[in-house]
Amino acid sequence: MTRSARRTRRTLQVAGAGAAALLALSACSSSGSDSGSADSGSSASSASSSPELSGTVTVFAAASLKESFTTLGKEFEKDHPGTEVTFNFGGSDTLAASITSGAPADVFAAASAKTMKIVTDAGDASGTPATFVRNQLEIATLPGNPDKIASLKDLTKSGLKVVLCDKTVPCGAAAQTALEASGLKLTPVSYEQDVKSALTKVELKEADAAVVYRTDVQAAGDKVEGVDFPESAEAVNDYPIALLKDAPNADAAQAFITLVKSAEGQKVLAEAGFMKP
Amino acid sequence: MTTPGRTTAEHTAADTLEGGPRRGRVRPGGRRGVPLPLLVPALAGLAFLLLPLIALLVRAPWRDLPEQLTGGEVWQALRLSLLCATAATALSLVVGVPLAWLLARTEFPGRGLVRALVTLPLVLPPVVGGVALLLALGRNGVVGQWLDSWFGITLPFTTAGVVLAETFVAMPFLVISVEGTLRAADPRYEEAAQTLGASRFTAFRRVTLPLIAPGVAAGSVLAWARALGEFGATITFAGNFPGRTQTMPLAVYLALQNDPAAAIALSLVLLAVSIAVLAGLRDRWMTAS
Amino acid sequence: MTTDLDTSGEGLDARLVVDRGTFRLDVTLTAAPGDVVALLGPNGAGKTTALRALAGLVPLTGGRLRLDGAVLDRTPPESRPVGVVFQDYLLFPHLTALDNVAFGPRCRGASKAEARAQAAQWLDRMGLADHAGAKPRRLSGGQAQRVALARALATRPRLLLLDEPLAALDARTRLEVRAQLRRHLDEFEAVAVLVTHDPLDAMVLADRLVVVEHGQVVQEGTPADIARRPRTDYIAQLVGLNLYQGRSEGHTVRLDAGPAITTTEVLTGPVFVAFPPSAVTLHRERPTGSSARNLWRCEVAGLETHGDQVRAALTGELPLAADLTTVAAAELDLHPGAPVWATVKAAQTHAYPA
């Protein structure tokens, strides 16, 4: 905790980070207690198969990675007995703010280059982040696509209730880029605070369509139907992953990143709807 | 809050109050002052409440503030917040005060359960409240589908939706406050009114309501304040669209995503306006009562 | 004064039955217009319940209620021609004295101006014209009482109910207000029923007393009659008499429990005997030359001072209360446990059929 206290002091000097520090406070305490318990467990089993990898790997990852990363985390623990992977899934911006405020984490996997840049600019990343997957936008419609939506242009039909993500979150920024590229003007009924709540509006049939990520459509199963649109190529989201400079468990963290980038990792991610970089 | 008196002792007590300084200053630490076991926790509590506000002020980007606040969206969001919170309070009053009366003054089977249900929105996470509202009043909701097909009314994504979401979350504060005041008020005033020829409704309107006015006012302020800060139910039920459903808390939350400085600036505005309104109201009752 | 119930149905004719599980009220009450009836009884006797039943605030579970011939059993309180002065007045604290009085006429359909004009007249009649604009908390107890009376009378009720009308007042105000209230009740042309536990209030204000104990009427009559011939220990205590029950044979009343009392009346059968504590003379030695016919051996159980009088509670052959001056008490060296002889002259006893 002394280390994280020092880090907190440093980052508090960054102007305007007051609110972010508040967020970090909660992240800090929870992951702190997690690593404490894991340390004692690992010392007992470290003598077994892989003496070089042990302890807890703390991964801060974008919410859209939840399913695939959870699977990969289990695989990693199986491959390296004595390790434990704990995740903190959330909005990339929130996570980035936590990291720059001193939350102890080993790996950061962001949903956009922009959010990763917050971390690298603060000097909290170790080395250059690498893009490990890409995500593309898709239109989520009601099951069976009753409004016959086939393109981004169809969303501008009057009477259609469309929700977008707010411009301040990655899916909203991407949608904005795609719309601008196609020269379309779309007035949604709502700018949702994150991709999940945009999707929920369609799942509950309150909105007729939402512009979300392929992976989200995939995860929603048959509650929504995905429609590809060519303009999505204009707004492909790169997912960068990086080892953090103050990683408490850098070796294991590096191994986890390797797993994510491996063929095995890519297979799991592809199942969730992600594309190769 | 004053409770109507039953005895002449009350009259004299009221007289003394009248004569005494109405807003006398409390002097902590005075020789006849507050005992330490009360004073210390009290000050600790006060500090705990004020500290985050002070932190907000300390970290506020004062230099950039004028720039942060010149955007039209800020004032749009503020206007919408004030409008919706006031509308939600008015709606809460119209249905909440009669509900409080029913709970305080009548006997019916399952009254305890009803009272517990009324307070449910207090413990429900607001986002869950928003989802529940969607399921009830959404375009595809239990009641909402009929509103849509019969009257062509859809509530999600509208300003009315914001008002409903805020009412859902804020009304329990009003009901609980008014019910408490009603229970403390002497029901025999209503009986006295009845023996003078007033129907139960007239007795309520002309006697009970003026008697419980301080409680109603306090409840309204609580409800208004809660509605003003409402976030979860609003964004879930009514979505987020500038000028239509984007209230200040939504604007603050979204600003926090990539521009914490802007979020702090917005919070300051919301804070300043609420303090101004609450202080203004408080002064008004203190002098009016 | 007490009148037989008018066959035309004028006045009050009620049998109030209210069953509340462990408590049952069953009181018959009749009165002609102009009568002032006092319901007198100890706390918990059911007086207030009876009053509330008359006002319609408590539903009757049985019996009947007729006022000037109209059946009111099921009429809601707001539709009954009944005015109530509540024990602590219940003046609406947010309204001025004038608006309190105008409330009734307003509810009964008068215009705002009309109601206020009527209210002003009533306040004037009560001598409160100067206080019309005052809020209740600015009024003294006596003034508040008169505003409450004006408010009740302003609806021109055919039945006026007063619940402990003087109980909320201090002793000095009480004397003055009691006299005023008596005057206003005298002027009141319809039936007035007041509830009180104070015998003096009841006797000064009412033409007729109805004594209620345990939800039942135990005695009814004029104040003078009841003061002279109490029929229960409670009433005897209220009016300050020693009361005994027994069988009379000639001049001798053999008590149900205890000795005999010699009286001047000649009666046969079950009787009550009463005598005031002041009729008792106490002696430390058995008196020899006394002409008193009644002589009992007693013991002092307790002493209480009232001004320059001492009331001694005695036990022994006959439990009784005796009044004597403090000087006499000192001379007799009275103290709890002291043996005494009590004598009462036959002429000072009063026997009447039970």
pLDDT in tens, A205-227: 999 999 998 888 988 889 999 99
Q: Three-class SS of residue C255?
A: strand
Task: Give pLDDT, residue C40.
Answer: 92
CB C168 to CB B210 under 8 A?
Answer: no
Nearest CB among C88, C94, C144 relative to B6 is that of C88
**What is the fold of A55-134+238-271?**
D-Maltodextrin-Binding Protein; domain 2 (3.40.190)
CA separation for the pair C294, C264 (Å, rounded): 12
- Split at pLDDT 50, 70, 90, the class of C16 is very high
Spatial contact of A36 and A4, defined as CB atoms under 8 Å apart: no
Predicted local distance difference test score (pLDDT) of residue B286: 53
**Chain B residues with CB-CB distance to A97 below 8 A:** 260
DSSP A275: B
| Residues A229-247, mean pLDDT to the nearest whole number | 89
CA distance C295 to B71: 107
Here the tokens at position C9 are: 């149905």
Confidence of residue B232 (pLDDT cuts 50, 70, 90): very high
Give pLDDT, residue B32: 65
pLDDT band at C306 (very low <50, low <70, confident <90, very high): confident
**The residue count for chain A:** 277
For residues C225-230, give the mean pLDDT: 90
- Residues 6 or more apart whose CB falls under 8 angstroms from that of A189 comprise A161, A162, A163, A207, B156, B157, B239, B241
Angle between helices B213-228 and B260-288 (to 10 degrees): 170
- The domains of chain A are located at 55-134+238-271, 137-234
CA-to-CA dists, residue A234 to A225, A238, C226, C245, angstroms: 21, 12, 107, 113
Q: What distance in Å separates residue A93's CA from the closest CA in chain B?
A: 6
Looking at the partner chain, which of C55, C138, C168 has a beta carbon nearest the beta carbon of B195? C55
| Structure tokens given for C64 | 């009947």
**Mean pLDDT within B126-144:** 91
Please work out, in degrees rounded to the nearest 5, the angle formed at the alpha carbon of residue C59 by the alpha carbons of C55 and C63: 95
Return the minimum-mean-pLDDT range out of A164-168, B260-264, C16-20. Answer: B260-264
Other beta carbons within 10 angstroms of residue B249's beta carbon come to 20
CATH architecture, range A137-234: 3-Layer(aba) Sandwich (3.40)
Chain A residues whose beta carbon lies within 8 Å of the beta carbon of residue B54: none
Provide the angle, in degrees to the nearest 10, between the axes of the packed helices A66-79 and A250-261: 120
User: Nearest 5 degrees, angle CA C83-CA C67-CA C110?
Assistant: 45
pLDDT tops 60 at residue A43: no
Return the residue in C80, C92, C193 with the most chain B beta carbons within 10 A, the one to mutate for interface testing. Answer: C92
By Cβ distance, the residue of B56, B131, B241 closest to A191 is: B241
Check CB contact under 8 Å for C141 and B18. no
Which of C49, C51, C67, C78 has the highest number of chain B CBs within 10 A, making it the mutation to test binding with B?
C78
Confidence band, pLDDT 50/70/90 cuts, at residue B23: very low
Distance CA(A71)–CA(A83), nearest Å, equals: 15
Q: What is the pLDDT of residues C251-272, one digit of tens each?
A: 889 888 778 898 888 888 899 9
CB pairs A-B closer than 8 Å: 84
Q: Are C213 and C228 in contact (CB under 8 A)?
A: no
Say yes or no to pLDDT of B287 above 70: no
- How distant is the Cα of B1 from the closest Cα of chain C, in angstroms? 14
CA-CA distance, A57 to C168, in Å (whole number)? 78
Chain C residues contacting B via beta carbons under 8 Å: 55-57, 76-80, 82-84, 86, 88, 90, 92-94, 103-104, 107-108, 136-139, 141, 144, 151-152, 155, 168-169
pLDDT 10s digits, B59-91 = 888 888 887 777 777 889 999 999 999 999 999
> Which of B258, B267, B271 is most worth mutating to test chain A (most A CB atoms within 10 A of its CB)?
B258
Q: Is a pLDDT exceeding 50 seen at residue A42?
A: no
What pLDDT shows up at residue C174?
A: 87
Task: State whether residue A17 sits within 8 Å of chain B by CB.
Answer: yes
Q: Which among B7, B8, B190, B196 is the top mutation candidate for probing chain C, defined by the most C β-carbons within 10 Å of its own β-carbon?
A: B196
pTM, two decimal places: 0.74
Cα nearest neighbour of A207 on chain B: B139
Note the pLDDT of residue C238.
86
Within 8 A of B200 by CB-CB distance, chain C residues are 78
Using CB atoms and an 8 Å cut-off, which of residues 153-212 of chain B contact chain A? 156-157
Find the CB nearest B241 among A19, A169, A189. A189
Q: What's residue B284's pLDDT?
A: 66
* Residues of A (66-105) whose Cβ lies below 8 Å from B: 91, 93-94, 97
Q: What is the pLDDT of residue B63?
A: 84
Instruction: Answer yes or no: are the C-beta atoms of A38 and A84 closer than 8 Å.
Output: yes
Mean pLDDT of A220-241: 89
CB proximity under 8 Å: B 51-110 to A? 55-56, 58-59, 61
Nearest CB to C90; choose among B189, B197, B213: B189
Mean pLDDT within A195-203: 90
Residue percentage of chain C with pLDDT more than 90: 59
The C-alpha atoms of residue A55 and residue A100 are separated, in whole angstroms, by 23
* Distance separating alpha carbons of residues B37 and C38, to the nearest angstrom: 55
Q: Which residues contact A268 (CB under 8 A, 6 or more apart)?
A: A68, A71, A72, A75
Q: Is the pLDDT of residue A149 over 50?
A: yes
Q: Contact C78/B186, CB-based, under 8 Å?
A: no
Pairwise CB contact (< 8 Å): B7 & C168: yes
pLDDT > 70 fraction of chain C, expressed in percent and rounded = 97
Q: What is the predicted pLDDT for the residue at A15? A: 38
The tokens describing C128, both together, are: 């409160």
* C138 vs B13, more confident: C138
Which of A250-254, B9-13, C226-230 bottoms out in mean pLDDT, i.e. has the lowest?
B9-13
* Average pLDDT value for residue range C275-288: 89
Contact A113, A238 (CB under 8 A): yes
Instruction: State yes or no: pLDDT of A247 exceeds 60.
Output: yes
Other Cβ atoms closer than 10 A to C196: 24
Q: For chain B, give the percent of residues with pLDDT over 90.
A: 52
Mutate which of A12, A166, A171, A195 to disrupt the B interface (most B C-beta within 10 Å)? Answer: A166
Q: What is the pLDDT of residue C8?
A: 57
pLDDT digits (tens, 9 = 90+) for A58-114: 999 988 898 899 999 999 999 999 899 999 998 888 899 899 988 889 999 998 888
Write down the pLDDT at residue B137. Answer: 93
Question: Residue B288: how many CB atoms within 10 A of its CB?
Answer: 9
Q: Is C158 in contact with C189 (CB distance < 8 Å)?
A: no
Question: Across the interface, do A18 and B250 touch by the CB < 8 Å criterion?
Answer: no
Q: Do C108 and B197 count as a contact with CB atoms less than 8 A apart?
A: yes
In this predicted structure, the answer to whether residue B45 has a pLDDT above a threshold of 80 is: yes
B11: contact with C, CB 8 A cutoff: yes
> What rounded mean pLDDT belongs to chain C?
90
Whether the CB-CB separation of A193 and A171 falls below 8 Å is answered with: no
Taking CB atoms and an 8 Å limit, are A206 and B138 in contact across chains?
yes
SS3 at position C17:
strand
| Whether B13 contacts chain C with CB within 8 A | no
pLDDT at C110 over 70: yes
Q: Where are the beta strands (DSSP E) in chain B?
A: none
In contact, C342 and C284? CB cutoff 8 Å: no
Q: Which of B58, B236, B256 sits opposite A197 (nearest CB)?
A: B236
The residue ranges of every structural domain in chain B are 70-286
Mean of pLDDT over chain A: 81
- The minimal CB distance from A206 to the residues B156, B257, B259 is found for B156
Cβ-based contacts of B211 with chain C (< 8 Å): 92-94
CB contact under 8 A, A205 and B138: yes
A227 near A120, Cβ under 8 Å? no
Which chains touch C (3+ CB pairs under 8 A)? B
Instruction: Indicate the residue type of A75.
Output: E
Q: Which of A16-30, A253-267, B35-49, C44-58 has the lowest mean pLDDT?
A: A16-30
The region of weakest confidence among A59-63, B26-30, B149-153 is B26-30
Are A94 and A26 in contact by the 8 Å Cβ rule? The answer is: no
The CATH architecture of the domain made up of B70-286 is Orthogonal Bundle (1.10)
Whether the per-residue pLDDT at C319 is higher than 70: the answer is: yes
